[in-house]
Amino acid sequence: MSALVAVKNLTRIFDVSKPWLNRLLEGKPKAFLHAVSDVSFEIEERSVYALVGESGSGKSTIGKMVVRLLAPSDGVIEIEGVDLFREPDHDRVEKIRTDIQMVFQDPYASLNPRWRVRDIIAEPVTARGGKADGLAERLLEQVGLAASDASKYPHEFSGGQRQRICVARALASEPKLIVCDEPTSALDVSVQAQVLNLMSDLKEEFGLTYLFISHDLTVVEHMADRIGVLYLGRLVEEAPRDALFESPKHPYTQMLFAAAPKLDGFGREVAPPKGEIPDPINPPTGCAYHPRCPFAIDRCTQERPEMRQLGQNRVACHVAE
Amino acid sequence: MTALAQAWRSDFMWSFRHSPVAVVSFFMVLVLVSGAVFAPLVAPHNPFDPASLNLMNGFSQPMQPNAFTGDVFWLGTDDQGRDVFSTILYGMRISLFVGFCAVLFAMVLGVTLGLIAGYSGGMVSTVIMRIADVQLTFPAILVAMLIFGIAKGFTPVHLRDQMAIWVLILAIGLSDWVQFARVVRGATMVEKRKEYVQAAHLNGRKAVGIMIRHILPNVVGPVLVIATISLALAIIAEATLSFLGVGAPPTQPSLGTLIRIGQGFLFSGEWWILFFPAVTLLALALSVNLLGDWLRDVLNPRLR
Amino acid sequence: MAKSVLSVRDLVVEIPTRHAVLRPVDKVSFDIAAGEILGVVGESGAGKSMTGNAVIGLLDRPAHIASGEIWLNGQRVDNLRRDQIRSVRGKEIGMVFQDPLTSLNPLLPIGEQLTETILEHLPVSKQEAEDRAVAALEEVGIPAAAARINSYPHEFSGGMRQRVVIALALCAEPSLVIADEPTTALDVSVQAQIIALLKQLCRERGTAVMLVTHDMGVIAEAVDRVAVMYAGRLAELGPVREVLTRPAHPYTRGLMASTPLASKGHTRLNQIPGAMPPLARLPKGCAFHPRCPEVQDKCLSDPGPTLSGCGGRAACWFATEEVA
């Protein structure tokens, strides 16, 4: 097995300054938001890599950069050995782009309400000038809908069915990698199970690779082979699924696991985690987690921890062992 | 047939049938517009055919036989003996034609600029919207007069009367594109962030394709509403310009021109020459406007 | 059983539309005792929020209570006039919504909002109301409460804002709190804080809580009893441990099995086929029958027993035998 995706030192900075006149009048400097800082990971072919994190962790930003909807400020994204943003051969980049697809979070906003399902599903092919006769019908059956649904409009479908249509569209260009940005967080539990099962089946059938972005640990535990935990734009821990869930090393990962509600946690009284996610425009010095970390030492407040190997896990923490 | 029956039962038709204002104004618009369109068939006289005019019929009172010829005119005649009812029908033709064309022009211009501004953002958007802002600080009628004056200056003298209608359309259209641009820009900015646009983008569709095929169909609703309300405004703007003497020439009198001519006779007692064109203009503008208001209420999801 | 703070009997909410009369809440009955947390769980459109809104008296027209009774502390409240509903609602019922910004006035400092609410419902002086406001903020864990009393809602983070809303909901010392998806918009770590806070405060004060959520994990950790709703009807009602570990209704069983936690170690999740039907197209008989793995002839025509609030746990013809 080889790495299909290699992300190296990926960084994305957003300029969140107020308009220049306001800055001038209020005497404030430009403000920058480090949505993603120095993130590196690799995704094996035919595996599921999950990025977990809370709001502001930068997980969706990474997803958008991998599908080339956003350009990185720094760092490299290589897919099948081709640098997505620096490769000079335009045709090669376009070829790689057809190998990458995305399934979005909101099944209501991700289908154009004025288009028929047939045209929606065929778009990855037709937008590049290809012919797509019968493609939509075939894919609809593949995702568990009827071929006759092709001539309907999106509003005639429920949330779960719409997400199936989104998956069908993602399959149209015969991709290798599908980036799934919270694909089931807008769905009800019983429907979520259907969509997750569908995605697992399709992965086996087409030999797909998923980059799975989610805040839901239970879903991630079910789907992922390897997991990266993000906090405030940085990867704090990365490990194979079982290693991570059995022995999380980073205090943040431990906190996340402890805080997640458990189905068998009847009347569980846990000491709730302290603090909230800090303002990403002015993150804490040193390790960004130190103000909330129960194990923080002086070193954590000044020096940012580098990623280091700890058993099967890679951890960015001074004290973890 | 089933499609028709289905359309009749749709929410749109349901709210139409349950709104007396909409029904009444719709039929008023229908009557007025068909009267204008079929003017040559409906009008009892052709006011532009000098051969059919009899100066002896001048200043006939409405519904009363003329003192000299004994002819009866429903709405009376003007100083030339032209039948006021017929001139209104023909005048409405010109008013509506100018209104429709001006709105169409404003719509195409405004929607295009609004789409571009909303989709590209940044400097492009700033430049377009600043021009719009500056234009909004002047009354529309002033802008129209300015454009009318400039355009007239560039037209050869012998073509002026022929070109007047087109210059009028240009002037009113250019004074009215701003609202289309503003609304379309706002709606485009909302749609642009939706995930189906991102999906199209990552599937390699070009910006122009995304704007026309994806975003445009999703912003037409509000555009239609503005177009209807703009039509009423454009008809009034045309009448105002013509009333001020800078619009339709007397050889092609619109409702505004008729009112201008009519007001000269008001104080000598021939009120009908002014009154009936004015009432027609009022009815036309009001019914189109009410229809537009109703359309806005129905198509605006926030009010439901 | 302790005396009920809230008891709802055969509540029916109807929405007349052009085509038919929809019933987003259909013959729902339950009680909440003082100090008890009742969880109401279901998929979107199951009628759980509508039930909460009916209790508060916040139904948007044309939705209205068509039949049934709502009793609050022994007083019948479903047939009160609008102005009476207002005084009861503010005094006896506190509300916490998903989005904290909908319950807070963005133009007023939070202290003023708290003081105003206290003065309106409790017979205290202005000075005392202000002291109580600070105390309420301290109680919900807002650091430096006395100093932050003049801050505006936008100056707080999401979690802190939800704490302020809880302070606001509890400051008039209501006997019932209705929390509608209070943590859905929050991150996991903050969610844990808010749930812990809600539990602690209600235990201490003996407030009854109706916690509406779609999250089974939150239900398991926070509530004493749980009501499972499906297509406007109560599918199952019982102590949380019983319902979650030994579900009696096939829908609850399916719901529990389809959570990823329940399928740990399996490559596929158990799934319920299909989706909840829209209210306008409810099937005849039991609304769950098209998706039910244990469906029998009887279910196709007869909607099944109605839960009365005390007797019976699941609204299913074939559930009772199993539980016994």
The ranges assigned to domains in chain A are 3-99+175-315, 107-174
- Chain segment A213-249, per-residue pLDDT in tens: 999 888 999 999 999 999 999 999 999 999 999 999 9
pLDDT band per the 50, 70, 90 thresholds, residue C90? confident
Residues of A in contact with C269 (CB under 8 A): 193, 196-197, 222
Strands laid side by side in the C75-76 sheet: C21-33, C4-16, C64-72, C75-76
Instruction: Indicate whether B144 belongs to any domain.
Output: yes
pLDDT for B164 equals: 82
C1 pLDDT more than 50: no
| Mean pLDDT of the region B214-223 | 90
CATH code, B95: 1.10.3720.10
Chain B contact present for A100, CB below 8 A = yes
Which positions 25-44 of A are in contact with C (Cβ < 8 Å)? none
Residues above pLDDT 90, as percent of chain A = 64
Instruction: Give C23-54 pLDDT, tens digit per residue.
Output: 999 989 999 999 899 999 988 888 898 999 89
As a whole-number percent, the residues of chain C with pLDDT over 70 amount to 94
Structure confidence by residue, pLDDT tens digits, B23-45: 999 999 999 999 999 988 888 88
Residue A282 carries which DSSP code?
A: S
**Mean pLDDT, residues B128-134:** 92
Q: Is B2 domain-assigned?
A: no
* Cα of C227 to nearest chain A Cα, Å: 16
- Whether C77 and C11 have beta carbons less than 8 Å apart is answered as no
Residue B119, pLDDT score:
94
Q: Which CATH architecture has domain A3-99+175-315?
A: 3-Layer(aba) Sandwich (3.40)
- Per-residue b or e along C280-307, where b marks 16 or more CB atoms closer than 10 Å to that residue's CB: eebeebbbbbebbeebeeebeeebbeeb
Q: Which residues of A are less than 8 Å from C235 in CB distance?
A: none
Assess whether pLDDT exceeds 90 at residue A253. yes
How much is the mean pLDDT over chain A?
90
**Closest partner residue to A94 among B198, B204, B217, by Cβ?**
B204
Closest CA of chain A from C159, distance in Å = 7
Two tokens, residue C3: 């005396």
Confidence of residue B196 (pLDDT cuts 50, 70, 90): very high
Within a domain: B110: yes
Give pLDDT, residue A24. 83
HEC per residue, chain C: CCCEEEEEEEEEEEEECCCCEEEEEEEEEEEEECCCEEEEECCCCCCHHHHHHHHHCCCCCCCEEEEEEEEECCEECCCCCHHHHHHHHHHHEEEECCCHHHHCCCCCCHHHHHHHHHHHHCCCCHHHHHHHHHHHHHHCCCCCHHHHCCCCHHHCCHHHHHHHHHHHHHCCCCCEEEEECCCCCCCHHHHHHHHHHHHHHHHHHCCEEEEEECCHHHHHHHCCEEEEEECCEEEEEEEHHHHHHCCCCHHHHHHHHHCCCCCCCCCCCCCCCCCCCCHHHCCCCCCCHHHCCCCCHHHHHCCCCCCCCCCCCECCCCCHHHHC
Asked if residue B55 is part of any domain, the answer here is no
Q: What is the pLDDT of residue A178?
A: 96
Lowest mean pLDDT among B60-74, B76-90, B94-108, C93-107: B60-74
pLDDT of residue A238: 95
Nearest residue of chain C to residue A263 (CA atoms): C217
Asked, for residue B131, whether it belongs to a domain, the answer is yes
Nearest chain C CA: its distance from A274 CA (Å): 8
In a domain, B6, yes or no: no
Greater pLDDT, C261 or B264? B264
Q: What is the nearest CA distance from B203 to chain A, expressed in angstroms?
A: 5
What is the per-residue pLDDT across A57-76, written as a single tens digit (0 to 9) for each? 899 999 999 999 999 999 99
Residue C104: phi, psi to the nearest 5?
A: -110, 140
A283-300: average pLDDT: 91
Alpha-helical segments (H) within A98-158: 117-126, 135-142
What total number of domains does chain B contain?
A: 1
Distance from CA of B131 to the nearest CA of A (A): 20
- The helix-helix angle for B20-37 and B84-120 (nearest 10°) equals 110
Of A188, A196, A215, nearest to C188 by CB-CB distance is A215
pLDDT digits (tens, 9 = 90+) for C158-187: 888 888 999 998 888 899 999 999 888 888
Measured between beta carbons, which residues in chain A are less than 8 angstroms from residue B217?
Answer: 112, 114-115
Q: What is the mean pLDDT of the segment spanning C5-25?
A: 89
Residue A265, pLDDT score:
76
Position C311 scores a pLDDT of 52
Please judge whether B196 and A69 are an interchain contact, meaning their C-beta atoms are less than 8 angstroms apart: no
pLDDT at C263: 67
Q: What is the pLDDT of residues C203-219, one digit of tens each?
A: 888 899 999 998 888 89
What ipTM goes with this model?
A: 0.88
- Supply the pLDDT for residue B72: 76
Chain B residues whose CB is inside 8 A of the A123 CB are 199-200, 203, 205
Question: Is A128's CB within 8 Å of B200's CB?
Answer: no
Q: Locate the chain A residue with the closest alpha carbon to B210.
A: A127
Q: Nearest residue on chain A to B195, judged by CA atoms?
A: A110
Q: How many CB pairs under 8 A join A and C?
A: 127
Write out chain B residues lying below 8 Å of A127, CB-based.
Answer: 200, 203-205, 209
Chains contacting B (3 or more CB pairs within 8 Å): A
How high is the mean pLDDT of chain B? 86
Res. B145 pLDDT band, cuts 50 70 90: confident
- Looking at residue A165, its pLDDT comes to 96
Residue B46: inside a domain: no
pLDDT digits (tens, 9 = 90+) for B277-295: 999 999 999 999 999 888 8
Contact criterion met (CB < 8 Å) for A109 and B194: yes
- Number of A:B CB contacts under 8 A? 54
Each as own residue / partner, the long-range contacts of residues B281-284 (CB below 8 Å, 24 or more positions apart, any chain) are: B281/B95, B281/B235, B281/B236, B281/B239, B281/B255, B281/B256, B283/B28, B283/B32, B284/B29, B284/B32, B284/B92, B284/B95, B284/B96, B284/B232, B284/B235, B284/B255
The A residues from 45 to 74 touching C (CB cutoff 8 Å) are 54-55
- Which residues share a beta bridge with C211? C39, C179
Kindly state whether A161 is in contact with chain C, defined as any CB-CB distance less than 8 angstroms. Answer: yes
CB contact under 8 A, A190 and C275: yes
Give domain status of residue B210, yes or no.
yes
Residue C24: predicted pLDDT = 92
How confident is the model at residue C308, as a pLDDT? 62
Kindly determine whether residue C220 and residue A273, on different chains, have CB atoms separated by under 8 Å: no
Q: Give the chain A residue whose CA is nearest to the CA of B207.
A: A127
Nearest to C55 by CA among C3, C4, C6, C5: C6
Q: What is the mean pLDDT of chain C?
A: 85
Task: Identify the top-confidence range among A310-319, C87-96, C272-281.
Answer: A310-319
Q: Chain C residue closest to A145 (CA)?
A: C274
Report the distance separating Cα B215 and Cα B209, nearest Å.
9
B203 contacts on A by Cβ (under 8 Å): 123-124, 127-128, 173
Interface contact flag, C260 A276, Cβ < 8 Å: no
Question: What pLDDT sits at residue C323?
Answer: 43
Q: Do C221 and A219 touch (CB under 8 A)?
A: no
Query: Rounded distance, CA C5 to CA C32, Å?
Result: 6
Q: Which pLDDT does position B4 carry in this prediction? A: 65
Residue C310 has pLDDT above 60, yes or no: no
Å between C79 CA and nearest CA of chain A: 34
Question: Binning pLDDT at 50, 70 and 90, where does residue A252 land?
Answer: very high
Chain C residues whose beta carbon lies within 8 Å of the beta carbon of residue A255? 189
User: What domains are there in chain C, each with its CATH number?
Assistant: 4-107+152-323 (3.40.50.300)
Closest-CA distance, B195 to chain A, in angstroms, reads 4
Q: Determine the structural domain holding residue B152 and report its residue range.
A: 23-36+73-303
pLDDT for C324 = 36
What average pLDDT does range A266-279 have in this prediction? 78
Task: State the smallest CA–CA distance between residue A182 and chain B in angstroms.
Answer: 13
